[in-house]
Structure 1
Amino acid sequence: ALDYVRAALQKVRESEAVAIVKFNYDGRGHTYVDNEKFNQLIHDCEPGAPKGRAWYETGEVNKSDLCNVPGHENLNWIQYHLLQLGNVFSEYEDCIMAVKGGIFGPWGEMHSSSYARTKEGYHWLLKALLGYVPASRSILVHAGGVMAWHNVEYNTHYSFSNLMPPPANDSPAARFGMFNDSYSAGSSGGAYNDNGSLSEGYALIGNGAEGDFNRNAAMDWIRNQNNFYGGETVGPGDSGNIYPRFPNVVYEAAYARTTHLNTGYNQRTYKLWGDFIYNKQNVTAPFTPPHDGVSRTAMFDPLYDGRSGMEYMRDRLGYRLVLREANVASSVKQNGALKFEGKIQNVGFGNIINKKKVSVILKNGSSVYTAPVDLDVRHLND
């Protein structure tokens, strides 16, 4: 299995690309059971995981959870597998964009699993990921799960009604981004939580009530993290659901600093974006999300006037650097310093998260000179 992962990442490296790495035990969702229809029946897919409701209601660790590999008997099977994967992550750090922390449950969506129903489960999982994923790379989880980890690790009491503040640069908390497996879905029984993806982990923080969740607070948490945020859309629902539709979807994308979306899922939602005519009248039409009843207006970019909403969303995911002004000294003495100055604007939804190599390239006819520059483009505005 490790050789398979290495081979896949080697292909990414050879194509000079980067990839979001995800590992889970049920990528096809075969163990999913509709909790509402079957009284929260749990069918754990993780190796060594306990079966049934009794375990996750007590939160106690059973000896059956632990692996039997000599020298690692203190780890459960998931921790041991992450230990093994950590070596591969280090080998291919350069071609990893981020690592999804979605390991528990069907599709790795962190629900319908005993482990995902305790704050202790989130704590040891995120602690393991922090140790095994290279420090330069982000870990994508859910807001509620991160706050559950933080509360156990630092004895805090954060929740959607007592929001975790923006993390300090280079702190463990700053390494967490967010994945949303129902991006912009909107309402789920009136909760406006993107089918539970935004509110995942709510039961483990605050008062544990679903009513404690607040969509605005979730968006604030994502924005405060200033990290990777994205996932996959689902079907758009009925015509009255404004969340996956323009102009609401582009407003939230900009606010939450969306960086990436699944190219293939969901095509029905993407068709809506493709059919949307991006012009000032359509984009700036006031809209009122039902989760708070506050009217808002999205910003219009005249560069895309008359084009499709899909084009705009595609071109604004992540960071998009535009050179607005560039100047270079007209002359330089031998062994002197050649001075540059200019203005670069990021017009994308997101910011630069991973450190980049920066070089200055000088060309004179067929002669090319490249010089590395000690510049961290993640902090151009600092």
Structure 2
Amino acid sequence: MINRNGWDFRQAELAESLDEPENPGRGWYGIYTFMVEQSIDPGELRWSLRQGESMALVLLDIHAYRSKLLDEDALGNIRNILSFFMQYKKDVIFRPVYDREGNGRSCEPDAFELVLEHMRQIGEILKSVKHSVFIFQGMLVGSWGEMHDSEYLSPEHLHKMWSCMREYLGEDICLAVRTPSQWRTLRSEEDFLQKKYSRLSLFDDGILGSLTHLGTFGTMTKEAAGWRGAWTRKEELDFISRLTESLPCGGEVTSCTGEDAVKVREADFIISELKNMHLVYLDRTYDMEVLNRWKQINYTGSGIWQGRSLYEYIGSHLGYRLTVKSVQMKRTWRGKAEFTIEIENTGFGKLFQDAELFLMIENEDQQKEVPVSMDLRKILPGTVLCGKAVTGPARGKVFLKARRRSDGRSIYFSNKNSDESLCIGLL
């Protein structure tokens, strides 16, 4: 486009790619298990990191301290583990547990106060050291740390653990509980309706294991069960969908062998379920029967994904997926160039962490950065948002770049030829 002031902007091709960018705060994760009493060897541990996993679930076994406080060795080991994953740019889903074998009650401390002390000790580490923890999953108790089969899941216990932990999480970490009914035990209906969520989210390790996600949903209506009860599938999914518009949700898919199996294996049903949950992160190491089946099923929708596997489609759409759709330039009355950038989010979820977006204009003499007035967190799934940037006289290639504000990590666009920055045209 050319105007009377001599400006000439030629937009680059902005086609969508089939690649899956390893963007922060979303994607596939693997599980990394540590015994809190054992130190790590970072040089050896780095070889266990796998490509294609942008997140890591750090399963921290603290059973050895079920009758005592964490000592300095254990606390130092936790710091080193978290530092390792931050160094290798893996956002962490952090799950400290007393049990890893399905024996929650027998593995937990006999005194509830010790559970709270362990939470305080771990919380102090999260407040005092640099780390990449995104989700704090569970509250230490229950079989596999999944908040079932425990002495400490009464409303009184849940409130005490939540009150203890929330002061350590700040604005950057979400605490995720296992079921919607546990969430509603901690937050009132009024809070929910007013979206006062206090960064309390959900994780679901029974996704598609049955139509109730292995008992995550109930059989009674909301009216019959009450606010804190487990509701019918439809009501729970409506609740989850509203909550996860604002908070990250993820977990594990599991095999379904019962009468629900035919339904939960349909491609359209699977995609609809994950979209409805606004799923942000998913285990790619557990229940390979399901994941391998997804690799054999073709995506049935239209567009560039037609004919690709369901596994590829789901992996590329976990969380946010930002595609630059168009760039327009016009001259302002002051003789400057005003860019309008249109970005679409085709992912299941959205970006939850603050990011900065800017244009870079490069020529042989200089590299110039111009901020774009757009909050990437506001691009909800299935929507398009426009942002503007204004620059004075310049010439050169124009790039668009996004980075997470907390640590400067690049956020990649899902356009073809996108790297740490995307060329959007020539000025």
Whole-Å separation in 1 of the counterparts to 2:238 and 2:144: 26
Give the aligned partner of residue 254 of structure 1.
275
Among 210, 222, 229, which residue is 2:249 paired with? 229
Q: Is the CA contact 2:134–2:173 (under 8 Å) kept in the aligned structure 1?
A: yes
What SS does structure 2 have at the residue aligned with 1:12?
Answer: helix
Give the aligned partner of residue 14 of structure 1.
87
| Equivalent AA in structure 2 for residue 254 of structure 1 | K
What SS does structure 2 have at the residue aligned with 1:247?
Answer: helix
Whole-Å separation in 2 of the counterparts to 1:19 and 1:302: 33
Two-structure CA RMSD over aligned residues (Å): 3.1
Q: Is the CA contact 1:245–1:273 (under 8 Å) kept in the aligned structure 2?
A: no
Flag the 1:31–1:103 CA change in 2: closer, same or farther, 3 A. Answer: same
| Equivalent AA in structure 2 for residue 105 of structure 1 | G
Whole-Å separation in 2 of the counterparts to 1:125 and 1:275: 43
TM-score (norm 2): 0.63
TM-score (norm 1): 0.70
| Equivalent AA in structure 1 for residue 163 of structure 2 | K
Q: Is the CA contact 2:294–2:311 (under 8 Å) kept in the aligned structure 1?
A: yes
Give the aligned partner of residue 110 of structure 2.
48
| Equivalent AA in structure 2 for residue 311 of structure 1 | E
Among 161, 174, 181, which residue is 1:138 paired with? 174
The Cα of 1:166 is off from its aligned counterpart by 4.3
Give the aligned partner of residue 351 of structure 2.
352
Flag the 1:328–1:18 CA change in 2: closer, same or farther, 3 A. Answer: farther
Give the aligned partner of residue 127 of structure 1.
163
Give the aligned partner of residue 137 of structure 2.
100
Q: Between Structure 1 and Structure 2, which shows a larger proportion of helix residues?
A: 1
Q: Between Structure 1 and Structure 2, which shows a larger proportion of strand residues?
A: 2
Among 88, 100, 103, which residue is 1:31 paired with? 103
Whole-Å separation in 2 of the counterparts to 1:92 and 1:358: 27
The Cα of 1:329 is off from its aligned counterpart by 4.9
Flag the 1:357–1:129 CA change in 2: closer, same or farther, 3 A. Answer: farther
The Cα of 1:123 is off from its aligned counterpart by 1.2
Whole-Å separation in 1 of the counterparts to 2:228 and 2:337: 61
The Cα of 1:262 is off from its aligned counterpart by 0.5
| Equivalent AA in structure 1 for residue 212 of structure 2 | N
**When the two structures are aligned, how many residues end up with a matched partner?**
302
Among 126, 133, 136, which residue is 1:89 paired with? 126
Give the aligned partner of residue 216 of structure 1.
234
Give the aligned partner of residue 148 of structure 2.
111
Give matches, 1:160-171, under 5 Å.
165-168=192-195, 171=196
The Cα of 1:275 is off from its aligned counterpart by 0.9
The Cα of 1:258 is off from its aligned counterpart by 0.8
| Equivalent AA in structure 2 for residue 310 of structure 1 | Y
| Equivalent AA in structure 1 for residue 203 of structure 2 | F
Whole-Å separation in 2 of the counterparts to 1:148 and 1:209: 5
Give matches, 1:269-308, under 5 Å.
269-279=290-300, 300-308=301-309
Q: Runs of 5+ in structure 2 lacking a partner?
A: 1-73, 386-427
| Equivalent AA in structure 2 for residue 84 of structure 1 | Q
The Cα of 1:331 is off from its aligned counterpart by 8.9
Whole-Å separation in 1 of the counterparts to 2:201 and 2:106: 25
Q: Is the CA contact 1:219–1:255 (under 8 Å) kept in the aligned structure 2?
A: yes
Whole-Å separation in 2 of the counterparts to 1:253 and 1:149: 25
| Equivalent AA in structure 2 for residue 234 of structure 1 | T
Whole-Å separation in 2 of the counterparts to 1:9 and 1:372: 32
Q: Is the CA contact 2:362–2:368 (under 8 Å) kept in the aligned structure 1?
A: yes
Alignment identity in percent? 22
Whole-Å separation in 2 of the counterparts to 1:372 and 1:12: 30
